[in-house]
Structures are given as structure tokens and as C-alpha cells.
């Protein structure tokens, strides 16, 4: 029972951390997008996407690898200190290389107009490297990292409302935009030094980590291409305004996906321990609950985003971004696909040590995404980028299901999916009728969310959904 409570607490804090990490930016985005306009937002999004690539190289897939492997040593401070030190040695080397390559980009004349932003936002690279938030995930101290993240998000929000006043404040916004990441990671590093003894061993074994880290890094690269490369290709092929319109829809989608996928980081360490101890019954039970948890949230969220696309875009970014509503409708199915792909990759393949399956799936998906972007973006612009993203996710999903079926019975985890879809379908009808009868968009949103919520869970209960009934029983018994 202690483990169950621990997972619930970890999930709560991780959800809060990830949720505020997106919700606060969405609140500020609703304000900033009106001040800076699509071009200004597009510029910052474009630069931040570039920075994210160099950050990805500096981290080299270590956060995911460290979470899986470090869970084995979390009760042994000596071995854990040695393991964390080994991770830092690798990160220091990759960060130096990444910053060296990044400096060439900064002084490249093709990026002269972005130079100031590149210099400022580039601070994310070294700070993300030293932060080691993965250490706190290993020891399951989600409360600390959540509270620190919330603190800097609040500071950032206050600074945005204080200093972003005109369309000329693009540089200021870029600096404030990275404050949460930079500040949180600096504090993480300070805390890690107090918790464990870094670089005290004389017997480090770096080589043993390289192969699995590179496999995860390859998976991260491929995944990032079809998740983030859309913005770079849009900026290069169409312009900053198209990136800005795409960023609005992507921001809203990302918030929902992040909240739903918050379970992934919490249970990876636990599932790895179960596999390491050959406790397959516990593994299947926890994995089944994870799939049902994601389905129960992701399916209605997907239908809801589709039904409220125009209202959400108008409320958060203004009428001038209404073209983003179509992008949001196209990407709404990704709210289901992305968390499920992540769940299979990180909670099935990773504990079994089958990262290569994820690498194959993401490489295929990224190649499809890149190739189709070259075709669809010139024709459909930002909508074309959305279409290719969904096609890529569907391909990744198909490959993940194929390989995962070799490791566990996937039919067991998908057997209730149809119940969630049937229960969520009326949300579309509710949205359509409400839009015809009510003029106020805020009121429309409130009505659809409220009626959709009650309709969805009522229909789930009528279908006697196993997971929902279990949750209800636990609530009544005060076990949640």
C-alpha cells in the first residue's frame, strides 16, 4: 500500500510541476501574443527551437537513461554518488562540444538578425546540463522540484506583465521566457551538491554507459525532429508569421499532452525495478493502470480540443490568430497518440532494455515527417506541418504496437479503449449545439466543459468501465 500511495503523491507533484510549466506560459502567451504579434512570437519560438536542439545534444539522452539505471542505486548513497558523477562527466564533455558548435551559429551572418536572442536564450544549454532534475526523479523527490519550478514560473509571469509592453520587447520576452528553465536548473545543481558527494571516487566506468545513452540519444533526436522541426521548416520555408500561428496551436496541445503524460516520469523507475526483480504481475498491473489513466484523460481531451478549437484560440491569443483553430483541430488527435507512444516507448521498451525499438520507430517517424513537410508545407503552410505531424505519430504508433506485442500482451491494455471513445463522442455534438445557441465564447467553453465532463463520466459508468469503477471504489474507501 505504501508503494501505491507513493506513486499517487509522485504523480500529483509531477503533474503540478509539468502542468504549471505549461499553464503559466499559456497564461503569459495569451498576453504576449497580443503584444508582440505573430511575427514576434514566431521569432522567439524559432530561436528557442534552435536552442532546444543544442540542449538536446548536450544532454545526450542522459536524463532518461539516468532515471532508469539510477533507480537501481537509489538506496545506496555511495553507488548513487558514483553513478551521478559518471553522468556529470559525460554531460560536461557533451556540453562543451555543444556550446562550441552553438558559438559558430551565433556568429554566422545568416543568423545575424537573431544574434542577440541566440546569445541570451543560449544560457539554457549549460544550465539544463548542470541541473540534473533526473536525480530528484530517481529518489522520487517530486515535491522539491515542483515547488522550485512553480516559484520561477510565478516570477516569470510577474516579469512578463511588468516589462512586456510593446511589439519591440521581443528581446525582453526571450530573456524572461528562459528564466524558469535557467533558475530551476541552477537551484537543482546547488541541491544535488548538498545531497551527494560528487567526483569522490577513483574508479569511474564511463564506457559502459555510452552505448545505451547513444541509443536513447538517437531516439531523442528522431523524436525531436518530428516534434520540433516543423517550426524550423516553417520559419525557413514560409516565415515567422506561419511559425507564430503554428506555435499558438502547438502551445495549447503541448499543455494537455504534458499533463496527461506526467505519469511517464513517475512510474519508469518503479517499472524498471519490477522488471529487474522479475515481478511481471506487478509490472502488468501498473502498466494496465497507466494505459487506462491516459485513455480516460486523453480521449475526452482530444474531442474537447476539437470541439472548442476556435474558442480556445480566441480566448488565449485573440481573434487575429483564428487561423490557428484549424491547426488545433488537426493536431487534436495527437493528444491521444503522443502520450500512448510515449508510454510504450518509456514504460514498455525502456524497462525491458529495448530502447532500439523506440529508436527504429522514431527514425521512421522523423523521416516521414521531414519528407512530407517538404511536400505539404509549401502547399498548405502551417496546416501542412500539422498534417505531417499526425501522419508521423500514426506511423510511430503502428511500429510501437508491433514491437511491444513481442514483449507483453498489448490487447490487454487496449481492451477498454472503445468505451472511452464512445463516452467522448457526444462532446462534439455538445460543442456544435452550444456554438449555435450561445454567442459568448467564455460561456460556450464553460458549458461544453461542464456538460462534456458529466456526459463523459456518466457514459463511462453506464458501460461499467473497470478502471473508473476501481477509482470510485478507492475514493469511497479514502484510499486515494
pLDDT digits (tens, 9 = 90+) for 136-178: 878 777 788 788 888 888 898 899 999 988 888 889 999 988 8
pLDDT at 425 over 90: yes
Average pLDDT, the chain: 84
pLDDT of residue 156: 87
From CA 151, how far away is CA 144, in angstroms rounded? 11
Question: pLDDT tens, 404-418?
Answer: 999 888 888 999 999
Average pLDDT of span 232-238: 82
Query: Which pTM was predicted?
Result: 0.73
pLDDT at 331 over 70: yes
Average pLDDT of span 220-232: 71
From CA 160, how far away is CA 181, in angstroms rounded? 15
Average pLDDT of span 267-276: 62
Q: What is the dihedral of CA 212, 78, 58, 223, to 10 degrees?
A: 40
pLDDT at 192 over 60: yes
> What is residue 122's three-state secondary structure?
coil
pLDDT of residue 273: 59
Instruction: Work out the pLDDT band at 403, boundaries 50, 70, 90.
Output: very high
Helix (H) / strand (E) element for 259: namely helix 240-260
Q: Which of 88-97, 232-241, 404-413 has the lowest mean pLDDT?
A: 232-241
From CA 88, how far away is CA 59, in angstroms rounded? 10
From CA 64, how far away is CA 38, in angstroms rounded? 34
Q: Which of 89-98, 272-281, 390-399 has the lowest mean pLDDT?
A: 272-281
pLDDT at 18 over 90: no
From CA 267, how far away is CA 343, in angstroms rounded? 10
pLDDT of residue 251: 81
Is the Cα torsion angle 270, 274, 277, 279 positive or negative in sign? positive
Average pLDDT of span 52-60: 88
Distances in Å between the Cα of 427 and the Cα atoms of 5, 231, 424, 430, 449 are 33, 30, 6, 5, 8
Out of 148-162, 312-326, 363-377, 421-435, the most confident range is 421-435
Average pLDDT of span 319-323: 83
Quick one: which of 9, 20, 6 has its CA closest to 259? 20
pLDDT of residue 443: 93
pLDDT at 184 over 80: yes
Amino acid at each position: 500500500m505504501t508503494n501505491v500511495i507513493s506513486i499517487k503523491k509522485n504523480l500529483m507533484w509531477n503533474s503540478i510541476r509539468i502542468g504549471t510549466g505549461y499553464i503559466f506560459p499559456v497564461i503569459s502567451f495569451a498576453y504576449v501574443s497580443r503584444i508582440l504579434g505573430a511575427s514576434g512570437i514566431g521569432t522567439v519560438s524559432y530561436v528557442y527551437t534552435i536552442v532546444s536542439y543544442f540542449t538536446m545534444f548536450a544532454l545526450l539522452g542522459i536524463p532518461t537513461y539516468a532515471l532508469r539505471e539510477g533507480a537501481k542505486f537509489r538506496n545506496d548513497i555511495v553507488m548513487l554518488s558514483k553513478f551521478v558523477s559518471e553522468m556529470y562527466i559525460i554531460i560536461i564533455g557533451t556540453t562543451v562540444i555543444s556550446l562550441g558548435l552553438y558559438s559558430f551559429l551565433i556568429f554566422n551572418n545568416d543568423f545575424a538578425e537573431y544574434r542577440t536572442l541566440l546569445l541570451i536564450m543560449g544560457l539554457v544549454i549549460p544550465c539544463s546540463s548542470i541541473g540534473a532534475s533526473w536525480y530528484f526523479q530517481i529518489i522520487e523527490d517530486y515535491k522539491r522540484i515542483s515547488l522550485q519550478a512553480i516559484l520561477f514560473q510565478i516570477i516569470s509571469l510577474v516579469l512578463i506583465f511588468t516589462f512586456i509592453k510593446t511589439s519591440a520587447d521581443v528581446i525582453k520576452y526571450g530573456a524572461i521566457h528562459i528564466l524558469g528553465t535557467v533558475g530551476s536548473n541552477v537551484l537543482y545543481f546547488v541541491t544535488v551538491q548538498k545531497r551527494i558527494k560528487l567526483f569522490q571516487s577513483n574508479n569511474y566506468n564511463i564506457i559502459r554507459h555510452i552505448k545505451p545513452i547513444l541509443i536513447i540519444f538517437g531516439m531523442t533526436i528522431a523524436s525531436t525532429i518530428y516534434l520540433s522541426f516543423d517550426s524550423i521548416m516553417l520559419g525557413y520555408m514560409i516565415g515567422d508569421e506561419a511559425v507564430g500561428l503554428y506555435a499558438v496551436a502547438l502551445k495549447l496541445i503541448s499543455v494537455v499532452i504534458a499533463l496527461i503524460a506526467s505519469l511517464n516520469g513517475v512510474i519508469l523507475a518503479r517499472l524498471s525495478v519490477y522488471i529487474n526483480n522479475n515481478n511481471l504481475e506487478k509490472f502488468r498491473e501498473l502498466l494496465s493502470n497507466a494505459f487506462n489513466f491516459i485513455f480516460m484523460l486523453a480521449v475526452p481531451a482530444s474531442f474537447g480540443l476539437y470541439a472548442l478549437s476556435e474558442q480556445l484560440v480566441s480566448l488565449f491569443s485573440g481573434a487575429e490568430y483564428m487561423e490557428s483553430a484549424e491547426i488545433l483541430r488537426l493536431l487534436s488527435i495527437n493528444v491521444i497518440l503522443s502520450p500512448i507512444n510515449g508510454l510504450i516507448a518509456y514504460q514498455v521498451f525502456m524497462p525491458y532494455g529495448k530502447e532500439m525499438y523506440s529508436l527504429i520507430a522514431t527514425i521512421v517517424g522523423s523521416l516521414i515527417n521531414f519528407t512530407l513537410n517538404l511536400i505539404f508545407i509549401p502547399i498548405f503552410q502551417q496546416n501542412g506541418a500539422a498534417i505531417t505531424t499526425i501522419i508521423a505519430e500514426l506511423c510511430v504508433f503502428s511500429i510501437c504496437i508491433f514491437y511491444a506485442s513481442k514483449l507483453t500482451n498489448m490487447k490487454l491494455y487496449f481492451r477498454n479503449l472503445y468505451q472511452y471513445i464512445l463516452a467522448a463522442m457526444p462532446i462534439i455534438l455538445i460543442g456544435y449545439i452550444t456554438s449555435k445557441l450561445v454567442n459568448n465564447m467564455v460561456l460556450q467553453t464553460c458549458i461544453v466543459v461542464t456538460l462534456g465532463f458529466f456526459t463523459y463520466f456518466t457514459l463511462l459508468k453506464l458501460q461499467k468501465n473497470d478502471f473508473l469503477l476501481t477509482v470510485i471504489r478507492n475514493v469511497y474507501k479514502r484510499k486515494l
